[in-house]
Chains A and B, each alone.
Chain A
Amino acid sequence: DVKVTQSSRYLVKRTGEKVFLECVQDMDHENMFWYRQDPGLGLRLIYFSYDVKMKEKGDIPEGYSVSREKKERFSLILESASTNQTSMYLCASKPSGLAGSEQFFGPGTRLTVL
């Protein structure tokens, strides 16, 4: 069964802390994505990766970085967390080469920055 897992469902951090959100997929997908979900704004793409060590900025990359050292794992890093980064973070993966293939989502991490 297809699976995307995220390291935490809920996370509370303090302003200025470095935060790591981890995502792992077991489907051997080339593409992985990090989205941020906010009410009224839908999902917005932060970063995506189409191969190991490859990454591309999405629509809202400011304040975030990513790491993909292994195919199955894609990490989102908040270098210095701020209160406006309080949000739901969703990870997704999909295979490459198929335009109509769906993205598979993780359960999400609800991050609160105090």
Chain B
Amino acid sequence: AQTVTQSQPEMSVQEAETVTLSCTYDTSESDYYLFWYKQPPSRQMILVIRQEAYKQQNATENRFSVNFQKAAKSFSLKISDSQLGDAAMYFCASPEGIQGAQKLVFGQGTRLTINP
């Protein structure tokens, strides 16, 4: 079975600074996607960023970017210029299963605190 590991249960960062959340995964698929989801306090889980494994270029969405190391099976999330609204649980996820009906395998989550 596929596994996704987030080794940092909690992280904190000063407002306007940069923080990196780590994630490692294990898959036997040759082509796959990786996702970072954000769950703000008492609010719905939303997608932050996704990376397709065959693309060598790291995905970027505004202040959010990934460092994708395919050989090392590492997929970290970098948040630049941290804002108070970035405080949330962050989950790394990788799909498993047949294409189109794929379930997501999630990591344990990292709780990010932003210090003003």
Q: Assess whether A102 is interfacial by the CB under 8 Å rule.
A: yes
Whether the Cβ atoms of A31 and B101 lie closer than 8 Å is yes
CB–CB A40/B100 < 8 A:
no
Residues of B within 8 A of A90 (CB): 45
Instruction: Report yes or no: A43 in contact with B103, Cβ–Cβ below 8 A.
Output: no
Number of interface residues of B (CB under 8 A): 29
* Inter-chain contact B95/A99, CB cutoff 8 Å: yes
- Chain A, interface size category, equals 20 to 34
- Contact in complex: A105, B46 (CB < 8 Å): yes
- Where the two chains meet, the residues of A that have a C-beta atom closer than 8 Å to any C-beta of B are 4, 30-31, 33, 35, 40-45, 48, 50, 58-59, 90, 92, 96-100, 102-103, 105-108
B interface, CB within 8 angstroms of A: 1, 4, 6, 9, 31-33, 35, 37, 43-47, 50, 52, 91, 95, 99-109
